């Protein structure tokens, strides 16, 4: 079986701590009369990204399962 490697730098992505999984948080703000003056509403993102820890570049974007 061939090793999975980064297409940019060739690093082995099967090694421990070789990828960073980035999940993005989206949302919107609403003005309220209470302190601090706004309220943030989180919305679930529909995808996440895998980043190579060696070169810090995007390896792949994958959909999230709900």
- Cβ neighbours for 65, distance < 8 A, ≥ 6 positions apart: none
- Could you identify the residue written with the tokens 């999230």? 64
Dump pLDDT digits (tens) for 19-61.
Answer: 998 877 788 899 999 888 999 888 877 788 899 999 999 998 8
Ramachandran angles phi, psi of 49, nearest 5°: -120, 150
- What's the rounded Cα separation, in Å, for the pair 51 and 62? 11
What pLDDT does residue 24 have? 73
Q: Is the dihedral of CA 12, 14, 19, 24 positive or negative?
A: positive
Q: What is the pTM of this model?
A: 0.61
- Could you identify the residue written with the tokens 């820890």? 53
């Amino acid at each position: 079986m061939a090793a999975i490697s980064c297409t940019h730098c060739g690093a082995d992505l099967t090694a421990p701590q070789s990828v960073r999984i980035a999940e993005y948080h989206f949302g919107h703000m609403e003005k309220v009369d209470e302190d601090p003056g706004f309220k943030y509403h989180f919305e679930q993102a529909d995808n996440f990204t895998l980043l190579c820890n060696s070169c810090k570049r995007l390896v792949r974007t994958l959909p999230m399962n709900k």
